[in-house]
Amino acid sequence: MIKIFKNYSIFFILFISSCSSLNSFKDAYQKFLPNPQTSFYIVQSGDSLWSIALKFNIDQKALIARNNLSKPYVIYPKQRLIIEGIENLDFYVERDSSLQWHHPLNEDLRPSKIDDGWIVYKQPKGTPIYSIDSGKVEVAGPDIPGYGNIVMISHSNNYLSLYAHCDKIFVEQGDKVERGSMVANIGSSESRFPLLKFQLRKDGKPVKSEKISFVF
């Protein structure tokens, strides 16, 4: 056993010494590892097309088309969905000057943080959250791991608004909501402290925060 270990040690030392640097050693080692690219996703209990699209930062419509899904687009646990070949979403950067959205908190508040298209407002638990425009509720509840209780509302012209880490939610999937109507309140579901994590999407792509105009 000691002799075998010694032989392996000599081989390992010779291998490292043959590499010009630690970086080249790393590159050589990576060749023996499996490709980390995800080709398929196995649907888990509680998943939806929305949650999977958000998890992989891809367009829901592209996910539907890639897997040849038909209406009403039902998915089920242990189903294998193709992810490979679907491009990751970039930001939607054009500004529509005619659009002014109702502020999700109905107050002139500066964001506490802006991160990957998400606008974060740290406010007390129970602070009301309002729909930025009229639309239809697509998701209402703990649909996406990591985002707590989340509300998603689809609006005209392929816009979608997301409100994450809510406490109580006052709407249900399929409900029609009006602009400025209260849909939830701030909570700390899957968060260390109360906050609202908000995002606006256009054609599936996150809209950059500086392109969003809020009114009250």
More confident residue, 130 or 33: 130
Q: What is the pLDDT of residue 97?
A: 60
**CATH number assigned to the domain covering 101-215:** 2.70.70.10
More confident residue, 179 or 99: 179
The answer to whether 136 touches 175, Cβ cutoff 8 Å, is yes
Note the pLDDT tens digit of each residue in 89-98: 877 666 666 6
**CATH number assigned to the domain covering 40-82:** 3.10.350.10
- Phi then psi for residue 142, to 5 deg, are -80, 70
Mean pLDDT of 86-109: 79
pLDDT > 90: percent of the chain: 47
**AA letter at 196:** L
Residue 114 token pair: 């802006």
So where are the chain's domains? 1-33, 40-82, 101-215
Strand, coil or helix: 133: coil
For residue 22, what is the enclosing H or E element?
helix 22-30
| Per-residue pLDDT band at 204 (split at 50, 70, 90) | confident
* Mean per-residue pLDDT of the chain: 81
pLDDT > 70: percent of the chain: 79
More confident residue, 23 or 60: 60
pLDDT value at 103 more than 70:
yes
Q: Which residues pair with 27 in a beta bridge?
A: none
Indicate the length of the chain as a whole number.
Answer: 216
